[in-house]
């Protein structure tokens, strides 16, 4: 497609011309399964479209880019932000969404397989967003899908759209992505968001600090990838020694639902908590991030601190998902 082509977006009577590659690029018709599909150019492209989506929402609330398109949301695990922001993203672009947010009330309970469930939904819809407890489930489902499928979290594997919105928020807050010292603290073993985020940040000059209890260390396969990409990292069990040096502190919840042994969960639950005292020793422009939900890792007294980025993260999630939906579906 020529980059001089344009497509139009109508908002409350105003017609905007967007470059056609702003709604297709290399993403048109593609599955989004892993952050490994992204390079810096692709990320930058999604971020610039997300900027446009943000200004469209702020000025007009909606656009008609995906008029007539239907999104299927198939969630085998709980979700608040990911599910509702995908739905809101679709609605704001003029599309519609159907949700199977509680698979227990669907034919899954009767024993229907994931491929059959996905094939069913895509016969009514244009794109499927899938969250599933098994690592690799999205890739497996995509093997059977004839229409694009987006991974909204596959067990302890990946959560690509969360990492996209995380990096978008870092860039927004800190105005740069290279040369940052990023600490991730909490459940680095089972937390899929930090797996995707580490992979994506490896595309930039990043100094990594992985902070966790011994039994929740970042998996070796991720650490091997970090080394292979030429980055250094340190592992530690608390943030005290580095709190004044880091640019980003990314907290995660201990993923109770992933533990086979509840006694092990009891050993590590509540292991970290950020409070105003800790924040008083952090850099004046450090971004404090969390994918949410939080269950005690960040005290509510920190919420009014301008460095608390987690509410900005969740809003940015909608713009990022609007950008992705437009890119994957936009130019049919
Ligand atoms: C995360 C998830 O589902 O992996 N939540 C989210 O999508 N924002 C993090 C978590 O559940 O701890």
Span from the CA of 192 to the centroid of ligand 1 (angstroms): 8
Residues 269-321 have pLDDT tens digits of: 999 999 999 999 999 999 999 999 999 999 999 999 999 999 999 999 999 99
- Flag whether the pTM goes above 0.85: yes
**Quick one: CA dihedral 66, 70, 75, 78, positive or negative?**
positive
Span from the CA of 190 to the centroid of ligand 1 (angstroms): 11
Residue from 16, 42, 81, 294 carrying the catalytic annotation:
81
At residue 19, does pLDDT exceed 80?
no
Instruction: Give CA angle at 98 (137, 153), nearest 5°.
Output: 25
Is residue 81 lining ligand 1, measured as CB closer than 6 Å?
yes
Q: In this structure, how many other beta carbons lie within 10 angstroms of the beta carbon of residue 8? A: 11
Predicted confidence at residue 15, as pLDDT, reads 53
Residue from 22, 31, 73, 131 carrying the catalytic annotation:
131
Predicted confidence at residue 278, as pLDDT, reads 98
Predicted confidence at residue 4, as pLDDT, reads 42
For the residues of 105-148, what is the DSSP string, one character each? GSGGGGT--HHHHHHHHHTT-SEEEEEESSTTHHHHHHHH-SS-
Quick one: DSSP state of residue 269?
A: T
At residue 332, does pLDDT exceed 50?
no
Q: In this structure, how many other beta carbons lie within 10 angstroms of the beta carbon of residue 49? A: 24
Q: What is the mean pLDDT of the chain?
A: 92
Predicted confidence at residue 26, as pLDDT, reads 86
Percentage, residues of the chain above pLDDT 70: 92
Predicted confidence at residue 69, as pLDDT, reads 96
Q: Is 266 in a helix, a strand, or coil?
A: helix
């Amino acid at each position: 497609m020529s980059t001089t082509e344009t497509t139009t977006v109508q908002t409350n009577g105003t017609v905007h011309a967007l470059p056609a590659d702003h709604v297709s690029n290399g993403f048109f018709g593609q599955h989004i399964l892993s952050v490994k599909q992204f390079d810096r150019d692709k990320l930058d492209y999604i971020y610039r479209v997300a900027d446009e989506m943000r200004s469209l929402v702020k000025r007009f609330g909606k656009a008609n880019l995906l008029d007539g398109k239907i999104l299927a949301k198939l969630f085998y695990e709980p979700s608040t932000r990911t599910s509702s922001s995908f739905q809101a993203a679709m609605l704001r672009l003029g599309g519609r969404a159907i949700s199977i947010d509680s698979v227990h009330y669907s034919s899954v309970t009767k024993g229907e397989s994931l491929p059959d469930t996905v094939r069913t939904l895509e016969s009514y819809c244009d794109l499927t967003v899938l969250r599933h407890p098994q690592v690799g489930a999205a890739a497996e489902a995509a093997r059977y899908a004839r229409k694009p499928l987006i991974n909204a979290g596959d067990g302890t594997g990946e959560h690509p759209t969360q990492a996209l919105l995380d990096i978008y928020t870092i860039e927004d807050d800190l105005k740069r992505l290279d040369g940052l010292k990023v600490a991730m603290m909490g459940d680095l073993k089972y937390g899929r968001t930090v797996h995707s985020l580490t992979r994506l940040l490896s595309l930039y000059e990043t100094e990594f600090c992985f902070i966790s209890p011994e039994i929740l260390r970042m998996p070796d396969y991720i650490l091997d990838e970090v080394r292979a990409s030429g980055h250094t990292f340190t592992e530690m069990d608390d943030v005290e020694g580095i709190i004044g040096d880091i640019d980003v502190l990314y907290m995660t919840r201990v993923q109770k639902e992933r533990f086979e042994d509840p006694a092990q969960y009891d050993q590590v639950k509540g292991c970290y908590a950020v409070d105003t005292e800790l924040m008083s020793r952090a850099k004046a422009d450090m971004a404090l991030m969390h994918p949410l939900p939080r269950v005690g890792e960040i005290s509510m007294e920190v919420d009014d601190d301008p460095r608390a980025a987690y509410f900005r993260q969740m809003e940015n999630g909608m713009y990022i998902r609007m950008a992705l939906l437009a890119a994957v579906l936009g130019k049919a």
